[in-house]
Amino acid sequence: MGSMTDKVKGVANEAIGNVKQGIGKATGDTELQAEGWVQERKGEAQKAVGEAKDAVKKTIDKV
């Protein structure tokens, strides 16, 4: 998977997780809130992977 794909999926997971947390909070659904929190963290991790891939590629390109 390319770095851009990782970043896009990460942003999408963060957004969906954030929405789930909001809905869970508004409805008192703690399970949905927790699921949203986990999905948001997953998105953050995916973005970090994409950024790491970019950094590696830039380093290799310099050599």
- pLDDT at res. 55: 94
Residue with tokens 């954030």: 18
pTM, full prediction: 0.84
Three-state secondary structure string covering 8-59: HHHHHHHHHHHHHHHHHHHHCCHHHHHHHHHHHHHHHHHHHHHHHHHHHHHH
2-60 pLDDT tens trace: 899 999 999 999 999 999 999 999 999 999 999 999 999 999 999 999 999 999 999 99
